[in-house]
Structure 1
Amino acid sequence: MDIKVTKLDGKAAGKVAVSEEVFGLEPRADLLQRMVRYQLAKRQTGNHKTKQRGEIARTGAKFGKQKGGGRARHGSRRVGSFVGGGKAHGPRVRSHAHDLPKRVRALALRHALSSKVKAENLIVVESFADVEAKTKVVAGVLGERGLTNALFIDGASVNDNFAKAARNLPNVDVLPVQGINVYDILRRNTLVLSKDAVDALEARFK
């Protein structure tokens, strides 16, 4: 299949042939959901924690008589029923990450790319160096094309001038092709790939 190539300002710059196995799949929501869940779980810090009764600095001696007090029977003051006591079954420091096969992760990325093609939200540009490296200029160019919520993927290295000019723009992300991922693709309305990024993705999944 062929995808039109434009310059960053919207002028035509030819076409590029892409593989149906990478950009022409029928998107599967279940794969995308599994991959997004995998990414979000992996990046959780998991450092939330409460003290259990064994970690409370308080006496464990029985503080009242078993009978005759007129109140409920109690032993240690470190239990969770008292103010300042330990939390029963509270959160512990742990990793939230879970396994997902490498083949499933690769397939999910291909389905994410295909979903943008199917929704007509994929743009291929010749280069990101076609515009002056100033935030005001880049914002104007992107605004004219309606790219106010977009993910830009460059080749092995990001064009420094474009990255610096775009980093202050809200809802605009710029990544090298090595950093492309399902979550960032789906969280932005439009995916913009450079020709170098397309070539790298084709070689990656060949």
Structure 2
Amino acid sequence: LHPGQFISSMWTKEWKTLLLRQWRSQRNLHTRIISEIMPTKESTLPTQPKVILKAVSPLPTYIQAWIHDFETNTPLGIINLDRKIFGSPIRKDLLQRVIVWQRDCLRQGTHSSKNRSEVRGTTRKWAAQKGRGKARVGTHRAPQFRGGGVAHGPKPRSHATDLPRKVQLFGLRSALATKFAQNQLVIVDNLKLKTHKTRDLLSILAETYDEIRSCIKKFAKSPCFNGR
């Protein structure tokens, strides 16, 4: 017989059933062992309580500062200020970006110049096209002539730039924290005055606050103050 025929003749139904039973018994054994090791949905293990650790800052969440009277600059009491604002880190780079952004938004952008089509003058051809031995000239309002238009001159436009909102707020916090650290921030209870005259307000600022006195003197010498 051929070897293949001999093997096929030995592979009878009894051998198949015997091997199938052996394989099923081994599979059931592995399943039972795994079920004993791994818990099922019905059997629950005892759970341990979760411990949540939170970092607590040793510093208080506020900063104390004096509150003053506006007219006399006398201290009236103590006020608590938010440390996130008046104690925030000072970032010079963000301050520079915020200042540039503010100054860009304040620019009027009304500069304007006339081009060759807006300059007043005749539209006739200034010289003959040929026969002169010189360069051809179409109009005398060209930029290369005296009294002509301006080439690529400025036109009214907006100089405003974009800055993220978070950078704006961080720059404001840095400015307030800087002034507070330099003792140049005065906190008053209210801004009520007896009169509405600007002269009285300037006198209060010049007599009460030493930091503003020099600014008042410079402003008094300016022509827009008119000596009042």
TM-score by length of 1: 0.63
Aligned to 2:170: 107
**Contact 1:53–1:79 (CA<8 Å) still a contact in 2?**
yes
Query: Which of 176, 184, 189 is residue 126 of structure 1 equivalent to?
Result: 189
Structure 1 position 4 matched with structure 2 position 66: yes
Residue 67 to residue 138, structure 1, CA distance change in 2 (3 Å):
closer
Query: What is the alpha-carbon distance in structure 2 between the residues aligned to residue 126 and residue 148 of structure 1?
Result: 19
Q: Distance in 2 between matches of 1:139 and 1:61?
A: 63
Question: Are positions 1:52 and 2:121 aligned together?
Answer: no
Shift, 1:36, TM fit: 1.7
Q: Sequence identity of aligned pairs in percent? A: 33
Larger radius of gyration: 2
Q: What are the equivalent positions in structure 2 for 1:36-115 lying under 5 Å apart? A: 36-115=99-178
Once residues 202 and 161 of structure 2 are traced to their aligned partners in structure 1, the CA distance between those partners, rounded to angstroms, is: 39
How big is the shift at 1:16?
Answer: 0.9
Identify, as 1 or 2, the structure richer in strand: 1
Q: Following the alignment from structure 2 to structure 1, what is the Cα–Cα distance between the partners of residues 114 and 94?
A: 38
User: What is residue 163 of structure 1 aligned with on the other side?
Assistant: none
Amino acid across the alignment from 1:69 = R
CA distance in 2, matches of 1:28, 1:17: 23
Q: Residues 27 and 114 of structure 1 are in contact (CA less than 8 Å); yes or no, is this contact kept in structure 2?
A: yes
Q: Report the CA distance between 1:65 and its aligned residue.
A: 3.4
Offset of 1:117 from its aligned partner?
A: 0.8
Specify the alignment match of 1:21 in structure 2. Answer: 84
1:145-170 residue CA offsets vs partner (Å, 9 max, x unmatched): 3142699xxxxxxxxxxxxxx9xx94
Q: What is the alpha-carbon root mean square deviation over aligned residues?
A: 3.0
The CA distance in 1 between the partners of 2:114 and 2:200, in whole Å, is 54
| C-alpha distance in structure 1 between counterparts of 2:185 and 2:214, whole Å | 10
Counterpart secondary structure, 1:86: coil
Deviations 1:41-80 (A, max 9, x none): 1122212111112333545554323454254432222211
Answer yes or no: is the 8 Å Cα contact 1:53–1:86 preserved in 2: yes
Distance 1:126 1:63, change over 3 A: closer
TM-score using structure 2 length: 0.57
Instruction: State the Cα distance separating 1:6 from its structure 2 match.
Output: 1.9
Higher helix content, 1 or 2: 2
Runs (5+) with no aligned partner, structure 2? 1-62, 221-228
**Aligned residues of 1:53 and 1:80 also touching (Cα < 8 A):** yes
Tell me how far apart the structure 2 counterparts of residues 87 and 47 of structure 1 sit (CA, whole Å).
Answer: 16
Question: Aligned letter for 1:145?
Answer: Y
Q: Distance in 2 between matches of 1:29 and 1:117?
A: 15
- Determine which structure has greater relative contact order: mean sequence separation of CA pairs < 8 Å that are 6+ residues apart, divided by chain length: 1
CA gap 1:125/1:150 in 2 versus in 1, 3 angstroms:
farther
CA drift at 1:26: 2.6
Q: Which runs of 5+ in 1 are unaligned?
A: 152-165, 172-206
